[in-house]
């Protein structure tokens, strides 16, 4: 993922959207919300649809007590809304929630920051590391406030625990 995404950095577009092959954008006119959001918030470097305000010490963002965002998941032949809403945040004027990490199913950027292909060669932790790389460059990472989910993620039913743990250990060694 990281090495493939680094190839996109050669493209001169200011705005880039990185998404999994199993992510479907269902929000009509999503770019009409996304681009003005970036233009009105020059500090916002990267935006996702789901993630965490704080990443726990184990590096697993979804085990945070501060998960935010929403997505429709398709898993085990079932569609399910995965939503981490906060009533307080729904009343704020800001159109995004500041986050420490976003999930790689959907990542949009307005600046180019190199992906850590030297550390991550698979499908795990390239997204959390990229979130932290944006923060290291002085940019905010955010999660879009969505009235309705922007995406469906067809997650699949297979999970490679061994590859995940290898990437997690690399993440911990380099970011914690």
Residue carrying structure tokens 């950095």: 9
Q: What is the pLDDT of residue 173?
A: 96
- Please tell me the distance from the alpha carbon of residue 172 to that of residue 57, in angstroms, as a whole number: 8
Per residue in 71-84, pLDDT (tens digit) is 999 988 899 999 99
Q: What is the pLDDT of residue 48?
A: 98
Number of helical (H) and strand (E) elements in the chain, helices listed first: 5, 11
- pLDDT (tens, 9 = 90+) of the chain, 176 residues, equals 999 999 999 999 999 999 999 999 999 999 999 999 999 999 999 999 999 999 999 999 999 999 999 999 998 889 999 999 766 555 556 899 999 999 999 999 999 999 999 999 999 999 999 999 999 999 999 999 999 999 999 987 778 889 999 999 999 999 98
To 10 degrees, what angle do helices 161-175 and 126-136 make? 20
């Amino acid at each position: 993922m990281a090495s493939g995404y680094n190839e996109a950095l050669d493209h001169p577009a200011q705005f880039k959207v990185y998404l999994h092959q199993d992510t479907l954008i269902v929000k009509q006119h999503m770019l009409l919300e996304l681009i003005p959001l970036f233009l009105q918030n020059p500090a916002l470097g990267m935006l996702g649809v789901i993630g965490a305000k704080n990443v726990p010490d184990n590096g697993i963002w979804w085990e945070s007590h501060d998960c935010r965002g929403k997505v429709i998941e398709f898993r085990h032949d079932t569609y399910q809304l995965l939503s981490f809403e906060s009533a307080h945040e729904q009343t704020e004027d800001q159109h995004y929630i500041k986050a420490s990490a976003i999930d790689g199913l959907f990542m949009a950027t307005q600046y180019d920051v190199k992906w850590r292909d030297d550390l991550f060669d698979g499908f795990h932790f390239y997204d959390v590391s990229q979130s932290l790389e944006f923060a290291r460059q002085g940019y905010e990472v955010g999660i879009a406030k969505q009235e309705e989910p922007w995406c469906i993620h067809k997650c699949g039913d297979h999970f490679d625990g061994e590859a995940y743990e290898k990437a997690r250990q690399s993440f911990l060694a380099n970011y914690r």
